[in-house]
Homo-oligomer: A and B are copies of this chain.
Amino acid sequence: MGTFHYPNGKKVTSVTKTRSSSSSSVKKEVSYSNRGMSLEDDINQSNQFYLLTNKAIIHKKPTPVQIVNVEYPKRSAAVIREAYFKLASTTDYNGVYKGRYIDFEAKETKNKTSFPLKNFHEHQITHMQQILDHGGISFIILRFSSTDESYLLDSSYLVHYWKEQSMGRKSIPKGEIEEKGYSITNGYQPRLNYLETVDRVYFYPSL
């Protein structure tokens, strides 16, 4: 896996609060993609709620980092002094729900009419297909941040659109997401009740 330069630094917004002021390098401003909470925050809060209410055991994987240089000061914690972000080889979230393996990726866009496929990368698509092949539940959560609408779409559709990219279409039209996906309800606890949608799609589709 190669080093990956997040184009807008967005991935590290939550962890850059205490930047050293002595650093002379160029730093970008942190920009949140929506006014409220990010999709990642909503999912983390929801997973925490599911954990506390003993509904499902789903965790976000740590951000993959290539560590190059570590200092071991006397009598204090090891400090990583040089490291780089790596491209993830899997999806961000996985766990177990009602005895089933659950695996998903969550992305948001400011686009209004379609979801750009550049939000995903080849390794993730391969991983999703593998999960489907081995009997796991694999989906993506897509949010249109301008209207705060979130959808669950089974990964089989993403794999389909990904392959069709070679024919020119670089995004999934919103109409297709509405047709083949399922809307996810926003709330307070959990903020994004995606397991209710998982129930509807994978456990009780006849209801």
Residues of A within 8 A of B (CB): 3-6, 9, 12, 15-16, 18-20, 23, 25-28, 51, 54, 56-57, 59, 61-74, 76-86, 89-90, 94-103, 127, 130-131, 133-136
Contact = CB atoms under 8 A, between A and B. Distances in A.
24 contacts: A6-B78, A9-B70, A9-B72, A12-B67, A15-B67, A16-B67, A16-B70, A18-B68, A19-B68, A20-B68, A20-B69, A23-B69, A26-B71, A26-B74, A27-B71, A59-B89, A63-B67, A65-B67, A77-B84, A96-B135, A97-B134, A99-B101, A101-B101, A101-B136
Number of copies: 2
Given A79-B82, A80-B84, A69 B101 contact: no
Nearest to A19: B69
Contacts of A20: 68-69, 81-82
Nearest to A59: B90
Nearest to A76: B5
Given A27-B71, A59-B90, 5 more contacts: A15-B68, A16-B68, A57-B136, A61-B62, A98-B135
A201 to B, nearest CB: 17
A134 B61 CA distance: 19
Nearest to A17: B68
Contacts of A5: 76-78
A5 B27 CA distance: 28
Contacts of A101: 95-96, 99-102, 136
